[in-house]
Structure formats: structure tokens, C-alpha cells
Amino acid sequence: AQTVTQSQPEMSVQEAETVTLSCTYDTSESDYYLFWYKQPPSRQMILVIRQEAYKQQNATENRFSVNFQKAAKSFSLKISDSQLGDAAMYFCAYRSAFTQYGNKLVFGAGTILRVKS
Amino acid sequence: KAGVTQTPRYLIKTRGQQVTLSCSPISGHRSVSWYQQTPGQGLQFLFEYFSETQRNKGNFPGRFSGRQFSNSRSEMNVSTLELGDSALYLCASRSGGDNEQFFGPGTRLTVL
């Protein structure tokens, strides 16, 4: 079974600075997808960024980028120029590429990100 | 496009009762997944429905069930509620050709 581990329960960052959230995962599969989701206090889960395991290039979405290390099974999220609106719970998630598992997401425990003004 | 909608948003029940939660996916999405979110267990996959068929099921007791209708709307039912069933229940929908799952706002269930 796949597992996702987020070892940082809580992180703080000063506005306009950069912060990195860590995520490791365990799987025996070679093809899969990784995601970072953001859940603000309003509780609507929003996709921040995604990475296909077969792509070596790290995904980037504006101020958000990932460092995907497939051999190390590591998938960290870097947020640059942090803004007050970035404050939320961040979840790392795994999805198998094998259709037998459908769309099941396996989530980490989450990291609370606090942004200080 | 309208997003994923879930009704009701809040629900209070007592132990032993049953409850039905509803999820309307984004138009055109045929896959609907359900997740339970609690402070202790985090986010856990309940089940997924695709074209009215259960495609995958998480490790939950048989008290948790679901179904999907021909218009892709989905319902989940919890019978004989227990205090531990208090949680935020999230629904997510996905189209066939995209990797992204879109989540609804959730239903907050409190069991007293």
C-alpha cells in the first residue's frame, strides 16, 4: 500500500519570503501522480500543483514549484514571495496511474502554514 | 462551470440514526470520490463511483455505502451512526481526460 508522510505539522513564514514544505512517499509503482492541495480555513480543497512521475522536469505554477526526487521518493513544495492568502493547511497526495485504483488519492497528514505580516 | 456542490453543508445527528449526504459533480464529470476528514485520522478515501458503478472502496465498515445516479450525482449513506463518524465529508469529481480532482466544500457531520 502506498503511504504519504508530511513530517512538518506546522510551518511559519514571513510575508514575501520563501518556504519549503516537505513530503515523502512510499510506493512500489513506477508510474503515479503527485499533488499538493491547499485547504484554507473555509475548507474548500484547492489543487496547487501536480507532477507526473514519468516527467523529470519539476512542475511550476507561478509562485509555487516542486522539487521532485523520484529515487528518494521526495516531493517538496516551495512557495516563493509568500502572501497572507497562502496561509492554509497543505496536503501532499499520491495517486496511482494504474486504472484499477481509479482516482483514489492517498493523503499525507498535512502541514499548517502560517504567514506572518 | 459550476463547481462541485454538496448538501447539506452542516448536519447534526444522534447516535444510532442514519444520514444521507449528496454530491453533485461538475457537469460532464463521471467520477465521484468521497473522503472522510477527521483531526485524528486525517483524510481517508471512502469510495469512488464511475458511471454508476463503484470502482474502488476504502477500508471502512459496511455502515458506509454510496451510489451514483445516471446524471452522475452521488449520495453516501451512513447507517447506525457512531460518535466517531463525526467528520467533514468531502466529495471530489474528475473528468476522464484530466488528472485534477475538484473538491466540494464538504458536509460537516456532527454525531451527538
Q: What is the pLDDT of residues A64-80, one digit of tens each?
A: 999 999 999 999 999 99
* Number of A–B residue contacts, CB under 8 Å: 57
Residue spans per domain, chain A? 3-116
Residue B24 pLDDT class (50, 70, 90 cuts): very high
Residue A99 pLDDT class (50, 70, 90 cuts): confident
What mean pLDDT do residues B86-112 have? 90
**Chain center to CA of B112:** 20
Class of domain A3-116 (CATH, top level): mainly beta
Identity (one letter) of the amino acid at A105?
L
Has residue A34 got a pLDDT over 90? Answer: yes
Contact call for A107 and B105, based on CB within 8 A: no
Residue B99 near chain A (CB below 8 Å):
yes
Give contacts of B44 with chain A, Cβ < 8 Å: 107
Question: Grid cell 512542475 — which residue?
Answer: A59
Which residue in B42, B48, B88 is closest to A109 by CB distance?
A: B42
Disruptive mutation site among B26, B32, B43, B89 for chain A (greatest number of A CBs within 10 Å): B43
B75–chain A nearest CA distance, Å: 17
Give contacts of B104 with chain A, Cβ < 8 Å: 44
What is the spatial distance between Cα B112 and Cα B90, in angstroms, rounded to a whole number? 20
User: Which stretches does DSSP call E strand in B1-112?
Assistant: 5-7, 10-13, 19-24, 31-38, 42-50, 53-57, 64-68, 74-78, 87-94, 102-103, 107-111
Residue B100 pLDDT class (50, 70, 90 cuts): confident
Residue A103 near chain B (CB below 8 Å):
yes
Residue percentage of chain A with pLDDT more than 90: 87
